Amino acid sequence: MNNNALLATLTCPNPTCQHQQQALMPTTFCQLTYTCEVCSMTHAHKNGDCCVFCSYADTPCPSMQEGETCRSPGLSDQETTALQG
């Protein structure tokens, strides 16, 4: 995978913040939360999305870019299947 595809811009979903920060996406796991560097709020991924990058970034996570199953840590096979819709 191209290294440029691993860099994403996360936008804070806090309506009074909306700060954008660049982050390198992990390739071995799904990141379920992130903390905004400006407002310090910790945000979880949205229901139905596998990770915070699929919820709040301008680029989907590496698994989704590759068309693979995104396996969030701690989820059962049934929960993973439900996330994929």
Query: Kind of pairing, strands 20-24 and 7-11?
Result: antiparallel
What's the domain range around 76?
3-84
Indicate whether this model's pTM tops 0.85.
no
User: What's the mean pLDDT in 12-38?
Assistant: 93
pLDDT reading at 2 higher than 60: no
Which pLDDT tens digit goes with each residue over 33-63?
999 999 999 999 999 888 999 999 999 898 8
Gap between the Cα atoms of 43 and 64, Å rounded: 20
pLDDT reading at 4 higher than 70: no
Quote the number of domains for the chain: 1
- pLDDT tier, 83 (very low <50, low <70, confident <90, very high otherwise): very low
Gap between the Cα atoms of 46 and 49, Å rounded: 5
| Contact (CB, 8 A) for 62 and 8 | no
Per-residue confidence (pLDDT) for residue 85, from 0 to 100: 42
